[in-house]
Amino acid sequence: MKNLFSLFIALFIVSIHAFAQDGFKEPVTWKTSVEKINDKEYFLVFKAKIEDKWHLYSQYNPEGASLPIEFDSEQKDSLFTFVGKALESKTHKKFSEVWKKEEIFFSNEGTLKQRIKLLKDNIKEVEVSLYGQACKESCIQIEKTAKFDLTKATAVTEMKAAVETKKAEIKSTKKKEENKGLLTLFLLSFFGGFAALLTPCVFPMIPMTVSFFTKQSKSKAQGIRNAIIYGLAIIVLYVLLGTVVTALFGADALNELSTDPWFNIIFFVLLIVFAVSFLGAFEIMLPNSWANKVDSQADRGGIIGILFMALALAIVSFSCTGPIVGTALVAAASKGGMAPIISMFGFSLAIALPFALFAAFPGWLNSLPKSGGWLNTVKVVLGFLELGLAFKFLSMADLAWDYHWIERETFIAIWIAVFGALALYLFGKIKLPHDSPLDHISVGRLLLGLVTLTFVIYLIPGLWGAPLKAISGFPPPMNYSESPYGVGYKKASGGTSTTLKKLPEGAHLMKPFDIVSFNDYETGLNYAKKVGKPILLDFTGINCVNCRKMEEQVWTDETILPILKNEVVLISLYVDSKKKLPKSEQYVSETTGKKIRTIGNKWSDFQMKKYKANAQPYYIIINHNEESLVDYTSYNPDIEKYYNWLNEGISNFKK
């Protein structure tokens, strides 16, 4: 009998273990260790073993995608501080069609080494928690809390080389990215300078300059020398401007300011002023007295006279070059460092080269087109471009403040209006103040108009949710939108949710489906009892890819959406919410023994305790006694199966 009882107990333990194995998924297992750098600094090492086809997301995973790894500790700032981000082993990248971003993740294995600095002497042990997310068909919230015995730390002699190598790799990669960014900025500024060259304030000055050098130079060699000095003088003047801007604001201050909403508002206003000036409302000019004084000095001859000629060009042409220079400096502000200098070098080089070359070789002037109304057309086109660019800065400020004034659809609509007006202008349907009479349009103007019109037509589907990858980075992201999943979802198919005059207390309208949803279990349960409907319990995550896929592809179906709106009470519990629980509501989990500090922790613990599961999405239909009416389902893109599952649960509720 005793043996039989022992056998029964063993079988019971095995069955419980099997059930736990089936319910709880642990796609990531950890090993921890500690390495000593010096008496005050240590590396806390987390080594992850990741199940096949699961992804554990890096600290550097972009915002608005799957949840990145974070480190935290209650001892932080009292016993120690974290020193920068953790060192990471090799990661992988893949573009996510759900988040529309390139995600960074570990696959199969990964190592993180978080550096800490002790704030007190004689600290023998520290405790640190790692939080993150792993996803495959479902998503699991990762939490690993470890105690590190600093007295048993291994030497970091071998690690030093690895750390230095890693630092060198990061520095090299960063340097390459910076160089690539500066090269792009240089090219954009160069084309900006070329555009400024083709404006009414600058282009007519080319033959005047050539005439001066032809008359003043006693020989061809002297003419070429003076032309080179003149070109270099133009470059020096504009580079000096970039240097002054960098010196005034500091190497990185502009970069920091560029992320400030108020600074973006200032950029927006500046670009609007520049654009309106280019369109012909007024001219931005420096005082005439400046030009007269500088021009008088240009007659002195020699190198000094040439330098003053270059300065005179900058002052006289300011009404055309000023807005472009301002825009170039605005673009450089987002880079910081040497960017303003590089920007001004590219801009001035584009202006200086033609002046220097035509001054050195006057015969080439015969190949130049004659001045005319086309110069003002170039200026107006630049005005439209600056007008469109201005709203990029306004939308960045709106994003930072989260006001939702310039959402994606609004931004795209503005661009359609701006570039649509540009197309009409190029086709001769709109006239502006300084335009010459136009009997016909040139082939070049027609082709540019067609390109602009094509761009406008390309933008239009963006109002209905098209990704518009060609202009990615300019409009606000897809989730900052009136219709995050596009206008084509079947929101209006049946249902009373959209016609409710007043939402129940504690509920909100889940967009874009217009489903009444609760984010608190007790509140939703009480409402379900009041209206006499079963409960669809949805364990989900803000950063859960397959949760979004289910909502986009299954919940929007015309057979599913009316059920969610009319026949069940939806309670969506977000297990990755970082919102802190009040101190009085924090507790230690009976299931895991971990401290429950956030709302996400609370619902994750509730899911594990009640349903012996920790994956998302996880759906269960329950009655008012909190009993399951049907077996759970998770990620299931088969609409028919999901429909049958819903109906089975609802039918069981009505029995």
Structure confidence by residue, pLDDT tens digits, 204-229:
667 666 666 666 656 667 767 777 78
CB-based contact 59:86 (threshold 8 Å): yes
Residue 460 has pLDDT above 80, yes or no: yes
Torsion of CA 413, 416, 422, 425, to 10 degrees: -90
Which residue(s) pair with 516 in the sheet? 509
- Single out the residue of 90, 141, 82 nearest to residue 112, CA to CA: 90
Rounded to an integer, what distance in angstroms lies between the CA atom of residue 591 and that of residue 610? 10
Q: Which comes out higher in pLDDT, residue 27 or 325?
A: 27
Give burial (CB, 10 Å; 0-12/13-18/19+) of 174.
exposed
- Single out the residue of 172, 62, 73, 163 nearest to residue 123, CA to CA: 73
Residue 395 in tokens: 């939308």
Identify the top-confidence range among 64-68, 82-86, 349-353: 82-86
Those residues whose C-beta lies under 8 Å from the C-beta of residue 573, and which sit 6 or more positions away, are: 519, 521, 537, 538, 539, 540, 603, 606, 607
CB-based contact 89:540 (threshold 8 Å): no
Q: Which comes out higher in pLDDT, residue 239 or 564?
A: 564
Question: pLDDT-derived band of residue 18, with 50, 70 and 90 as boundaries?
Answer: very low
Rounded to an integer, what distance in angstroms lies between the CA atom of residue 249 and that of residue 333? 10
3-state secondary structure of 436: coil
Q: Which comes out higher in pLDDT, residue 259 or 41?
A: 41
Residue 255 has pLDDT above 60, yes or no: no
CA distance between the termini of the chain: 44
Q: What is the 3-state secondary structure (H, E, C) of 109-164?
A: EEEEEEEEEECCCCCCEEEEEEEEEEECCCEEEEEEEEEEEHHHCEECHHHHHHHH
Q: Give me the pLDDT at residue 116, please.
A: 92
Question: pLDDT-derived band of residue 370, with 50, 70 and 90 as boundaries?
Answer: low
Average pLDDT over residues 269-273: 83
Those residues whose C-beta lies under 8 Å from the C-beta of residue 179, and which sit 6 or more positions away, are: none
Residue 501 has pLDDT above 70, yes or no: no
Q: Give me the pLDDT at residue 481, please.
A: 75
Question: pLDDT-derived band of residue 141, with 50, 70 and 90 as boundaries?
Answer: confident
3-state secondary structure of 540: strand
Report the run of H or E that residue 587 belongs to, with start and end: strand 587-588
Identify the top-confidence range among 431-445, 501-515, 626-640: 626-640
Average pLDDT over residues 296-314: 63
Question: pLDDT-derived band of residue 64, with 50, 70 and 90 as boundaries?
Answer: confident
Q: Give me the pLDDT at residue 200, please.
A: 63
Average pLDDT over residues 286-303: 56
CB-based contact 363:206 (threshold 8 Å): no
The contacts found for 442-446 with CB under 8 angstroms, 24 or more apart, are: 442/374, 445/374, 445/377
Residue 526 in tokens: 């009480």
Residue 619 has pLDDT above 70, yes or no: yes
Of 64-68, 206-210, 393-397, the poorest mean pLDDT is in: 206-210
Average pLDDT of the chain is 78
Structure confidence by residue, pLDDT tens digits, 329-340:
666 655 556 777
CB-based contact 577:596 (threshold 8 Å): no
Give the start-to-end residue ranges of the domains of the chain.
27-155, 184-406, 497-654
The contacts found for 174-182 with CB under 8 angstroms, 24 or more apart, are: 178/337, 181/335, 182/335, 182/338, 182/339, 182/342
Question: pLDDT-derived band of residue 287, with 50, 70 and 90 as boundaries?
Answer: low
Rounded to an integer, what distance in angstroms lies between the CA atom of residue 196 and that of residue 379? 8
Of 35-39, 149-153, 299-303, 542-546, the poorest mean pLDDT is in: 299-303
Q: Give me the pLDDT at residue 544, please.
A: 80
Q: Give me the pLDDT at residue 350, please.
A: 81
Q: Give me the pLDDT at residue 457, please.
A: 95
Residue 257 has pLDDT above 80, yes or no: no
Residue 365 has pLDDT above 70, yes or no: no
Q: Give me the pLDDT at residue 26, please.
A: 81
CB-based contact 257:263 (threshold 8 Å): yes
Rounded to an integer, what distance in angstroms lies between the CA atom of residue 589 and that of residue 605? 7
- Single out the residue of 548, 588, 629, 481 nearest to residue 145, CA to CA: 588
Structure confidence by residue, pLDDT tens digits, 485-496:
555 544 444 455
CB-based contact 43:121 (threshold 8 Å): no
Those residues whose C-beta lies under 8 Å from the C-beta of residue 533, and which sit 6 or more positions away, are: 567, 568, 569, 653
Residue 324 has pLDDT above 50, yes or no: yes
Provide, rounded to the nearest whole percent, the portion of the chain with pLDDT above 90.
23
Question: pLDDT-derived band of residue 10, with 50, 70 and 90 as boundaries?
Answer: very low
Q: Give me the pLDDT at residue 291, please.
A: 52
Residue 272 has pLDDT above 90, yes or no: no
The number of beta carbons lying within 10 Å of the beta carbon of residue 454 is 11
Residue 174 has pLDDT above 70, yes or no: no
Q: Give me the pLDDT at residue 106, please.
A: 94
Q: Which fold has domain 497-654?
A: Glutaredoxin (3.40.30)
Structure confidence by residue, pLDDT tens digits, 97-140:
777 677 889 999 999 999 999 998 888 999 999 999 998 878 88
Q: Give me the pLDDT at residue 288, please.
A: 60
Question: pLDDT-derived band of residue 614, with 50, 70 and 90 as boundaries?
Answer: confident
Q: Give me the pLDDT at residue 464, please.
A: 84
Q: Give me the pLDDT at residue 649, please.
A: 92
Q: Which fold has domain 27-155?
A: Immunoglobulin-like (2.60.40)
Those residues whose C-beta lies under 8 Å from the C-beta of residue 582, and which sit 6 or more positions away, are: none
Report the run of H or E that residue 92 belongs to, with start and end: strand 92-96
